[in-house]
Amino acid sequence: MAMTAYNFIPTAQNAREMATMEGLANSDTALQLAIANVIRVAIVANTYSTTISILGKAAADIQETVSALLDLGYTWSISGTTLTISW
């Protein structure tokens, strides 16, 4: 399947809506956006895993996020405040 930037870039409207969300910085959505970013960086670097700090993130947000990662076929592990994601 050919991938294009359209598969990864939100629409301008979605970007505006996310930018105005109250409390976004401390939400599961922010964590998922950050994870999507580090995965993209890892893909560009031709690697099959990445890490991200989960320091200060709510346990419920972490649980929801790792559950979504499993649903998407990723594996993950947590050591201290570091979430490691592999594919």
Asked whether residue 85 carries a pLDDT value surpassing 60, the answer given is yes
- Chain centroid to CA 63: how far? 13
The pTM score is 0.79
Q: What is the C-alpha to C-alpha distance for residues 87 and 76, in angstroms, rounded to an integer?
A: 9
> What ranges do the domains of the chain cover?
22-86
pLDDT digits (tens, 9 = 90+) for 61-78: 999 999 999 999 999 999
Residues with Cβ within 8 Å of residue 12, at least 6 apart in sequence: none
What token pair was written down for 70? 């499993």
Give the mean pLDDT of 39-65. Answer: 93
**Encoded tokens for 81:** 């405040």
